[in-house]
């Protein structure tokens, strides 16, 4: 697995992928909706997610919840997404979509979404086998706060490549290859801000910043009150 750094803070082009019902790519619509909520003060709260805001992409969306350090489960998932994957996703662990070797790679990515926090973009591939063609897909996972204020959920979406109708075949098929792109963002921001200049993740470690004491304003002077 490779970790690509997004220096501009943007999500890679989705021009080659399927559009939602309103003409916008599902991943692009979900990303734009999340950023609109983020600009109102930081990581959005799950309760603030409105289906109307992502109506054109809703069938490709999901919400996951972190239930352990390396374990997240689907809480809701669009019907089209479930059909493409070939299973009902609600209640299933996210790792169920990945082959065993790729699950180990996923374990290194998931904590960053909730702890840094970070936006996560995955490029995925199911290898061709048993007469089934390979399938490429893209996934995004964007952090959300739970009712306690902690970052415990994520809003996501999956797009298959334009020529693929589904991942499911005569036998279960899972993602065999994964490339992750992580972008660290501040948990809270001023109203109207966007994480466009967010510092890209550096191996999941926060960059140390030297302490610089504030200088006293030059126009102030000390006055002895006893004189």
Give 227: exposed, middle or buried? Use CB within 10 Å, 0-12, 13-18, 19+.
Answer: exposed
The whole-number average pLDDT for the span 22-38 is 86
The whole-number average pLDDT for the span 183-199 is 71
pLDDT bracket for residue 189 (50, 70, 90)? confident
Least confident of 55-64, 89-98, 215-224: 215-224
* pLDDT at site 25: 86
Closest CA to 127 of 187, 177, 195: 177
pLDDT tens digits along 154-165 = 999 999 887 666
Is the model's pLDDT at 172 over the cut of 80? no
pLDDT tens digits along 109-130 = 999 999 999 999 999 999 887 7
Q: Which residue's entry shows tokens 């089934």?
A: 132
Is the model's pLDDT at 193 over the cut of 80? no
> Are 84 and 160 spatial neighbours (Cβ–Cβ below 8 Å)?
yes
Provide the whole-model pTM: 0.74
The whole-number average pLDDT for the span 12-39 is 68
CA distance 27 to 122: 11
Beta-bridge partner residues of 73: 65, 93
Q: What is the mean pLDDT of the chain?
A: 78
């Amino acid at each position: 697995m490779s970790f690509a750094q997004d220096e501009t803070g943007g999500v890679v082009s989705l021009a080659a992928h399927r559009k939602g019902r309103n003409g916008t790519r599902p991943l692009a619509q979900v990303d734009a909706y999340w950023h609109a909520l983020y600009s109102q003060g930081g990581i959005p709260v799950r309760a603030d997610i409105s289906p109307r805001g992502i109506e054109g992409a809703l069938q490709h969306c999901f919400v996951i919840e972190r239930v352990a350090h390396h374990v997240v489960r689907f809480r809701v998932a669009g019907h089209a997404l479930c059909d493409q994957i070939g299973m009902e996703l609600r209640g299933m662990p996210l790792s169920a979509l990945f082959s065993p070797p790729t699950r180990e790679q996923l374990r290194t990515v998931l904590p960053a979404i909730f702890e840094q926090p970070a936006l996560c973009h995955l490029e995925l591939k199911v290898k061709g086998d048993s007469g089934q063609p390979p399938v490429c897909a893209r996934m995004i996972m964007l952090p959300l706060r739970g009712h306690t204020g902690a970052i415990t959920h994520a809003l996501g979406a999956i797009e298959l490549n334009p020529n693929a109708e589904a991942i499911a075949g005569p036998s279960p098929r899972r993602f065999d290859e994964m490339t992750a792109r992580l972008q660290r963002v501040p948990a809270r921001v001023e109203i109207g801000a966007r994480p466009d200049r967010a510092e890209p993740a550096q191996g999941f470690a926060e960059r140390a910043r030297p302490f610089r004491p504030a200088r006293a304003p030059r126009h102030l002077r000390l006055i002895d009150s006893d004189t």
